[in-house]
Structure 1
Amino acid sequence: MFHIKKNTVKILLCLCSLFTFSQNSSCDGIRYIENSFHDIITTADVFFGSNTTIGGKSQDLFMDVFEPSNDTEDNRPLIILAFGGAFVSGNKEKMHDLANAYARKGYVTASIDYRLYDKLAIIDSALLIDVVVKGIGDMRAAVRYFKQDFSENGNTFGIDTNYIFVGGISSGGIIACHIGLLDAGDNIPEYLETSIENNGGWEGSSSDNTQYSSEVAGVLSFSGGIKEIEWVSEKDVPVFAVHETGDDVVPYQRGPVKINFGSFSIPLIHISGGKEIYDALQNISIKSELISIDIEDHVSYFSGSTAEVYSDSIMMHSSRFIENIFCDFPVNVKPLQNNITIFPNPVQDYIIINSNAPIESISIYDNYGKNVLKTSERKISLQSFSKGTYFVKLQNSEGIVTKKIILK
């Protein structure tokens, strides 16, 4: 955790299970951290889905994609960013500066639309939950868009689909935190389950490519939060968070989210902010980092009174956080407590999975990240599959493990 108080920076960083070698040729200790590119290629208004707003209007969803120009790499990490605005205002253009800043370091970035509150009624907690669920579904659709593009269109934007990160400011950060920290197996209250079901289920209904996974490699939370801290578990992904200690809009620890209207505000649902998320992840040894800014403000570090002091430092630390994951830490592999073996491997017709722990789900992905099979059977026929490399993802309450198999 970075606690910034006046000119003092205290660093407490949880780094878990890092490998000592780089797995990607582009990892040279400079790219992804320093500004390595000057010119940026912008692809504006990429359509990735459509849906109905809470007010009943049809809305097409677009994003702007940013890439470093004259780049020879074609397997780059992707950062998908969502704007802030209390779920009632904002647009994808608000994230252009941040998206460009990461692109200059060598990342591919996308600034997305998501549906806002447009109902002709004063927002309350139930309505806010519904609009948050809609935003989560929209961001999941954006993640799936890139995985489908990789598989079906030749990887237009040159990304590594194993390293897609989501992030956002304020309300956008709340959406991103739920993408990374809320899982189907969590203790979800009935009212939230109902909202999820009414909005198309776990993946949402903003696009029809749900055969692709919306799982991500990590989260950038800029003054975001999650509804219930108990949802943080060993199945979750790393989180980099920035939060003011005196934030009165999205709480630093636990408290109500407030929607401001001029001189008055409406306190709504209680959520857990950056500090509680950091503590919860650290307690279960998931890589996490927190920059705490000792000021009573909300997102002042990017566009407010403290931006000149802190924005460059935040960019450097968040970039290094992602670079560490991409270059050293395979976050999609979280070992189960018990050994798992898959044989034979290489395989010709079927595999057998041995484990002395229960397995809740087994998914097989092809080399493009497309989910080609989901089952609970321990003996799996691959006779209908094409020859090549596949990844078997196994999950239970203890965590996730991914193993590579070769089909001959």
Structure 2
Amino acid sequence: MQRLNLIFILFLVSAVALAQQPIPRDTSFTIQSTFVKEKKHRPYIEIARPEMSDGVVFLKDQVYKKLGERTLTADVYYPKKKIKGNYPGVILIHGGGWRSGDKSQTTSMAIALANAGYVAACVEYRLSLEAKFPAAVYDVKSAIRWMRANSKKFHLDSEKMATLGMSAGGQLATLVGFTNFNKEYEDATGNPKQSSAIQAVVNIDGTLSFHHQESREGTATSFWLNGTFEENPKVWESASPLDHVSKQAPPIVFINSSIPRYHAGRDDMIKRLNSFHIYSEVHTLPDTPHPFWFFNPWFTPTVNHAVRFLDQRFKN
């Protein structure tokens, strides 16, 4: 009996230790390290740090999803002043090859959007060291449902919501929008009565197809999708927004660098969108590195393109 009790105690200790293990992190992709790298080639760049208006409220690390002991959080910026009809919302999704990066990398964009009259939520999502595809898609859709459930708190117009993502986040922002009403792409964890559908997409240099003649996807993609295309072709296709163009797809704006591989599949997507009479527009910033959105002189034009597109969709 004593031996059984000891085994049980050891099992409990092991289980608690396992539950308390830190989440694996890849910190290789940061704004500062990217700045140092890019400044060698373009010495005139500076990290964009817009000032937050006095009329904006900031709420940090708001828990939007619980998975056992694991919590996922969002930083929310929203206009303080109440208005009739409330403000449109934008879910911001950071890049980093689905493996690195964090929600703080969308802070500057969120501040700019909140200053422009939007409810902006920078969302954390599970990266590939912690969970493979489609966990990140589930998480973003959970965040959308959570925002709608808290619409009164954030002065949010829940019928006017968009996703905005950069690089890997751009791919996720588009896939989330192009799988509107597709239950296979959400786990319904938290606020299942709310919709995860969004009404517009801002894709900032995010790939649209993983297996495409313009694509140059490699180890980061294979790791996230749990195998190469040859090993797991159906998953590669299901993760590609291009394969989900339908009449349910929302309007989209592409804001791109001058490097073609980062908008692989875009032109084919536009042709398919046109067949459904779904609006799209393209803005390519000349002579730009891939992570251009972090830096001046490109941050302000990027914001202007995004806000103009969103205003046309939601405010006109």
The verdict on a shared fold, with TM-score over 0.5 as the criterion, is yes
What CA deviation, in whole Å up to 9, does each residue of 1:268-305 have, x standing for no partner?
A: xxxx3x444334323432111111234473132x125x
Contact 2:171 2:241 in 1 (8 A): no
SS of 1:156's partner is helix
Aligned to 2:206: 224
Confirm or deny that 1:291 pairs with 2:295: no
- Specify which of 44, 56, 69 is matched with residue 60 of structure 2: 44
Aligned to 2:172: 175
Aligned to 1:93: 104
Aligned to 1:391: none
What CA deviation, in whole Å up to 9, does each residue of 1:342-383 have, x standing for no partner?
A: xxxxxxxxxxxxxxxxxxxxxxxxxxxxxxxxxxxxxxxxxx
Aligned to 1:64: 75
Corresponding letter in the other structure for 1:314 = T
What is the root-mean-square deviation of aligned Cα atoms in Å? 2.6
Corresponding letter in the other structure for 2:185 = W
Contact 2:52 2:112 in 1 (8 A): no
Aligned to 1:140: 141
Distance 1:93 1:137, change over 3 A: same
Aligned to 1:281: 273
What CA distance in whole angstroms lies between the structure 1 residues aligned with 2:284 and 2:60?
A: 34
Distance 1:107 1:287, change over 3 A: same
How far the C-alpha of 1:247 sits from its partner, in A, is: 4.4
What CA distance in whole angstroms lies between the structure 2 residues aligned with 1:318 and 1:280?
A: 22
Contact 1:225 1:277 in 2 (8 A): no
Aligned to 1:149: 150
Distance 1:247 1:68, change over 3 A: same
Structure 1, unmatched stretches of 5+, are: 1-34, 53-57, 120-129, 186-195, 254-271, 329-408
What CA deviation, in whole Å up to 9, does each residue of 1:169-208 have, x standing for no partner?
A: 11111111011113567xxxxxxxxxx9xxxx43225x23
Confirm or deny that 1:203 pairs with 2:216: no
What CA distance in whole angstroms lies between the structure 1 residues aligned with 2:76 and 2:100?
A: 21
TM-score normalised by structure 1 residue count: 0.53
Contact 2:179 2:185 in 1 (8 A): no
SS of 2:201's partner is strand
Confirm or deny that 1:325 pairs with 2:316: no
How far the C-alpha of 1:51 sits from its partner, in A, is: 3.1
How far the C-alpha of 1:40 sits from its partner, in A, is: 2.1
How far the C-alpha of 1:163 sits from its partner, in A, is: 0.2
Contact 2:134 2:185 in 1 (8 A): no
Contact 2:178 2:241 in 1 (8 A): no
- Specify which of 42, 55, 79 is matched with residue 90 of structure 2: 79
- Specify which of 100, 121, 133 is matched with residue 110 of structure 1: 121
Going by fraction, where is helix more abundant, 1 or 2?
A: 2
Structure 2, unmatched stretches of 5+, are: 1-50, 209-239
Corresponding letter in the other structure for 1:292 = T
What CA distance in whole angstroms lies between the structure 2 residues aligned with 1:179 and 1:281?
A: 16
What CA distance in whole angstroms lies between the structure 1 residues aligned with 2:82 and 2:53?
A: 8
Corresponding letter in the other structure for 2:294 = S
What CA distance in whole angstroms lies between the structure 1 residues aligned with 2:116 and 2:247?
A: 30
What CA distance in whole angstroms lies between the structure 2 residues aligned with 1:59 and 1:279?
A: 41
TM-score normalised by structure 2 residue count: 0.67
SS of 1:146's partner is helix
What CA distance in whole angstroms lies between the structure 2 residues aligned with 1:36 and 1:100?
A: 6
Contact 2:174 2:241 in 1 (8 A): no
Going by fraction, where is strand more abundant, 1 or 2?
A: 1
Contact 2:82 2:155 in 1 (8 A): no
Aligned to 1:237: 250
